[in-house]
Structure 1
């Protein structure tokens, strides 16, 4: 990332299309085996069109997006908020911008505003993070 000044936009990254394999692999890794995420019949009985993605899967992709840019060792804070359900077939786009650059605990840091959108542009996850930068 060449500039970290407030207002700088991070390059976008796509994830997906989301598959049942993505969802089930995340469920197994996280221990969240709620059948609403892999049983279409159960999800339909609860009023959903089909089983849907685990919210933390998208948060994990957003974290991966950030650490690809800044490195895992530089994470100082990471928060997300789930806004919409993600279904199989959705293509997700991670993006963000620098909110501020500051110094704390003797290191230079940036604060980011983050989001994941679906192909239709609707925000499904929003978040914020702080990273130590050189």
Structure 2
């Protein structure tokens, strides 16, 4: 994918979109990589015991998958100079079907003088937002 051009970017443009399947296997791999072995991320009985609707994806996994859509568009991870989200809804990962995270990224603010743009990230599962106020600043300098 070619490097995006700040001069052709327009506020409101959808710059990227993707769907990502999160499976129970994804959770195990993330737990191993992150060291987060909280059983709510892999044991249905524990999730149910603490009142959750099922096994949940790690918040940071969800956040990381969502920003990857912007990184792919930007062409270089070092271009993403700031990224912030609010976790608004947990991602329940079905043991058989997993959960599909749908990500859309749109240009929200363009600062030509600073050679950067704010990209708003919309992340949903089953049409329901799971990350609120997800915003990434991308540098074009």
Which of residues 57, 62, 78 is equivalent to 1:53? 57
Which of residues 124, 127, 131 is equivalent to 2:130? 124
CA offset digits 1:24-69 (Å, max 9, x no partner): 1111111111111111111111122322111111101012111100
User: Which consecutive segments of 4 or more residues in structure 1 shift more than 6 A?
Assistant: none
Which of residues 110, 114, 122 is equivalent to 2:117? 110
Match of 1:37 in 2: 41
Match of 2:81 in 1: 76
Gaps of 5+ in 1: none
Match of 2:91 in 1: 86
TM-score normalised by structure 2 residue count: 0.84
Match of 1:96 in 2: 105
Q: Is the 8 A contact 2:53 2:92 kept in 1?
A: no
Give the CA RMSD over aligned residues: 1.5
Post-superposition shift, 1:84? 0.8
| Aligned-partner Cα distance in 1 for 2:100–2:56 | 13
